[in-house]
Structure 1
Amino acid sequence: MNDNNGRIYIRFLDVSDTDDMLDLMLRNRQLFEGVSPKRNESFYTKEVQEKSILTSNSQREEDKRYAFGIFLKETQQLIGDIALFEVQRGPHQKCILGYSMDQAHNGKGYMTEAIQLILKYAFEEVGLQRVEAGVMPRNVGSIRVLEKAGFQQEGLNRKLLEINGKREDHLLFAMLAEDFLKA
């Protein structure tokens, strides 16, 4: 997906992206481990990264997860990933948004662009009505990204996830299709 005026584009990952994804994860391991649930050491191998991409592709076919890479238009470099996961149909019509960005590219507005592209996909292509995102209160950069993208804070999920051996609170943000499509 591409916005002609944007500096990035998003597309589904395929196995040809395995080495680039592994490199991204290894370069940013310390940063990502500070905000993500614990990962096994095997996560940082080519085999697991390839399997993750293949699993995401099959989950897309099952309408459970839509995972994209974030790429710079100018260089085609993979600089992050973004996904809609835990898709719920029926009366809910919602999912959770997750994302990560190479620390070398933080603070440049790329994630805000990527979120706009994936929201367009979520609401216009997949037909969801609600996209939720959770962020730890101390992750000020991620909170700012969600607010810039138009998400509204709705509450606090106490001790939602275990991060680095400690249960962490997460602020709940959401974007509704009607709000996105009006903007």
Structure 2
Amino acid sequence: MKFGSAMSHDKSPLLLTTERLHLTLLPPDAAERVLAYHVANKEHLGPVSPARPATFFSNAYWRTRLAQDREDFRHDVSLRVFLLPRGQSISLAPVLGSIALTNIRRGPLQAADLGYGLDHRHEGQGLMTEALQAVCDYALGAMGLHRVQASHLPENLRSAGVLRRLGFVVEGYARDFLLLDGRWRDHVLTSLVAAPEPGVRGGP
């Protein structure tokens, strides 16, 4: 069995390409585009997001955050990519959504937590399913992770459907799991695991 490490996958600028999307980390000078996405989806994503700092809706915040994203990826802490429409210049294309792998754990666990959000104007087109497939393939392939964990609100049937289509399996139900919009909310817990390596047993 091979355990990944902070240097086990390529840390060069990441670009994943799907049929309709580019998925990539963005530089600090893309702060205005990322901010525009969040402003447009303030009402859509706010109720299902953890508490945000007072400076969240500012260019300064996102310039700092995007720089930190690159450092976090380089140090194998987390990965955040943004969804951009394919066919447009990456340096100019609008942000359609984001996907994050956070709390990356190595050693015998080899796992990360998955979070994602999509512009409300682009829902229902299969874009998030397409993007998540690419990110999960990268996580369980090049990154060397064994397990990707995701949770969703019980009433969020759209997110539940996306995860099931990707092969995520329900593992449990957590009460008062996350504090969202000032309320502790229950969540359904799911995971996607890599195919077992030769000579390594899975299951009980």
TM range, normalised to the smaller chain? over 0.9
- Among 27, 30, 43, the residue aligned to 2:43: 30
3-state SS of 1:178 partner: coil
Two-structure CA RMSD over aligned residues (Å): 1.2
Listed one character per residue, the Cα deviations across residues 45-96 of structure 1 (whole Å, up to 9, x for unaligned) are 1111111111111111110101101111133332011111100011110000
| Identity of matched residues, % | 30
Match in the other structure for 1:178:
195
**Shift of the alpha carbon at 1:41?**
2.7
Match in the other structure for 1:55:
68
**Shift of the alpha carbon at 1:146?**
0.9
More helix by share: 1
- Paired residues in the alignment total 177
Task: Give, in whole Å, the separation in 2 of the partners of 1:154 and 1:125.
Answer: 25
Greater shift after overlay, 85-94 or 155-164? 155-164
Task: Give, in whole Å, the separation in 2 of the partners of 1:71 and 1:148.
Answer: 22
**Shift of the alpha carbon at 1:100?**
0.7
Task: Give, in whole Å, the separation in 1 of the partners of 2:149 and 2:66.
Answer: 22
Task: Give, in whole Å, the separation in 1 of the partners of 2:49 and 2:95.
Answer: 20
Match in the other structure for 1:85:
102
Q: Please tell me the residue identity of whatever aligns with 1:26.
A: V
Partners of 2:154 and 2:187 within 8 A in 1: yes
Partners of 2:149 and 2:190 within 8 A in 1: yes
Moved over 6 A (4+): none
Match in the other structure for 2:137:
120
TM-score normalised by the chain length of structure 1: 0.93
Unmatched segments (≥5 aa) in structure 2: 1-15, 197-204
Task: Give, in whole Å, the separation in 1 of the partners of 2:103 and 2:170.
Answer: 20
Match in the other structure for 1:169:
186
Greater shift after overlay, 20-29 or 143-152? 143-152
Structure with greater Cα Rg: 2
**Shift of the alpha carbon at 1:151?**
1.0
